[in-house]
Chain A
Amino acid sequence: MIPAGLMNTLQVTVLVLVAAGATVVVRTRTRVRQVLALSVYGMLLAILFLVFQAPDVTLSELTVGAIVLPIILLLAIAKVSKPDRKRER
């Protein structure tokens, strides 16, 4: 068991990191970089849930927030930023 005082310190640290991570995601202007920041932010959220003793939500957040959502966004960005050949003709 982790002692209660250390646990509180850990919880506050992770809360501050999550707030900082969210700010970084919002302040990042390049799309691909923003997605990578979002992925790291998802990882931070997963750690937050772990520290607050919710291992099931941790696994969901880790897989959906840090892996699947960034992949879907990267694919969407790749799709829309590719020149459309039909229109060029």
Chain B
Amino acid sequence: MTPRQRLWFFAVAAAGLVACYLWAFAGLPGFGGYPGPYGQEILRVAVQQTNATGVVSAINFEYRGFDTVGEEFILFAAAAGMSVVLRKLREERETEPTDEADSRTVPPSSSAVRVAALLMVGPTAVLGWWLASHAQASPSGGFQGGVILASAFLLIYLAGEFLSFRRLSPDALLDAVEAVGAGGFAAIGLAAIAMNLPYLYNYLPLGTIPGAVSSSGTIALISFFVGIEVAAAFVLIVGELLDQTLLRSA
């Protein structure tokens, strides 16, 4: 195909795309319009039914809890697959990185970065832990809390403390926490079946005050398990990649 033919081909295809795009746009509902009945219905009944004021958590861990189990295991499988693919092979030995240019002086990491990162570790960890363990009242739940908790660990690395980062997050512990998180979610659901209830049915007492620590039954509990699973999975994934980059395998 000559460049000229290719250009014609592109022009026809692009014109078709633009036409279809404009046609599709013309049929969209108005800005902010919401035609579906489910959102309004959930907003009407969710707080009454679940005693969770964080309606997003109520939806994620109760109304569509089964979908969330699937999503949970996607991340679990991704982290497990990563550990398997990046594992240390039998003939591989890991060595500490060596300086390849001894004569060049490496500038030390700026103390502003170190101090800022270390100062943020505590608040970040608390925010993540709160989001994950108080899903019944927070704007989101275990997933967001878990990733924020994981970024607290990343801040330790950012502060220049690679060895502290690895010491605080040994792979065996991460694997165990990840398994407990994913397994705990599935087990809470299976316990409902053991009680002759539907899978993931909210069988715990809902409490009396919406949004209180004791409210929302299984929602808060599932969110907590999701939180520790997600945090462990993300620290594991980034830790594996850091090992790949910083340690030399020979």
Give A contacts to B, CB under 8 Å: 55-56, 59-60, 63-64, 67-68, 71-72, 75-76, 78-79, 82, 85-86
Q: How far is the CA of A40 from the CA of B154 in the complex (A)?
A: 18
Min distance, Cβ B43 to any Cβ of chain A, angstroms: 12
Which partner residue on chain A sits nearest B240 by CB separation?
Answer: A75
Q: How far is the CA of A55 from the CA of B139 in the complex (A)?
A: 6
User: Could you say which of B16-24, B144-152, B167-175, B183-191 contacts chain A?
Assistant: B144-152
Q: Is B208 part of the binding interface, using a Cβ–Cβ cutoff of 8 Å? A: no
Determine which of A55, A71, A76, A78 lies in contact with B140 in the assembled complex, contact meaning CB atoms within 8 Å.
A55
Given contacts A56-B56, A71-B238, A72-B237, contact A63 B139 (CB under 8 A): no
Q: How far is the CA of A68 from the CA of B185 in the complex (A)?
A: 24
Which partner residue on chain A sits nearest B100 by CB separation?
Answer: A83
Question: Is A63 within 8 A of B245, CB to CB?
Answer: no
Give B contacts to A, CB under 8 Å: 56, 131, 139-141, 143-144, 147-148, 150-151, 154, 234, 237-238, 241-242, 244-245, 248, 250
Given contacts A56-B139, A72-B238, contact A67 B245 (CB under 8 A): no
Q: Which residues of A contact B150 (CB under 8 A)?
A: 63, 68
Q: Which residues of A contact B56 (CB under 8 A)?
A: 56
Q: Which residues of B contact A63 (CB under 8 A)?
A: 144, 147-148, 150-151
Given contacts A56-B140, A59-B139, A60-B143, contact A68 B234 (CB under 8 A): yes
Question: Is B139 within 8 A of A75, CB to CB?
Answer: no
Q: Which residues of A contact B144 (CB under 8 A)?
A: 56, 59-60, 63
Determine which of A75, A85, A86 lies in contact with B241 in the assembled complex, contact meaning CB atoms within 8 Å.
A75
Q: Interface centre among A55, A63, A68, A82, by most B CB within 10 Å?
A: A63
Question: Is A59 within 8 A of B148, CB to CB?
Answer: yes
> Known contacts A59-B139, A67-B154, A76-B241; can you find 12 more A-B pairs with CB under 8 A?
A55-B140, A56-B56, A56-B140, A59-B144, A63-B147, A63-B148, A68-B154, A68-B238, A75-B241, A79-B241, A79-B244, A86-B250
Q: Which residues of B contact A82 (CB under 8 A)?
A: 245
Question: Is B140 within 8 A of A75, CB to CB?
Answer: no
What would 29 A/B residue contacts be, using CB atoms closer than 8 Å? A55-B139, A55-B140, A56-B139, A56-B141, A59-B139, A59-B144, A59-B148, A60-B140, A63-B144, A63-B147, A63-B148, A63-B150, A64-B147, A67-B151, A67-B154, A68-B151, A68-B238, A71-B154, A71-B238, A72-B237, A72-B238, A75-B238, A75-B245, A76-B241, A78-B245, A79-B241, A82-B245, A85-B248, A86-B250
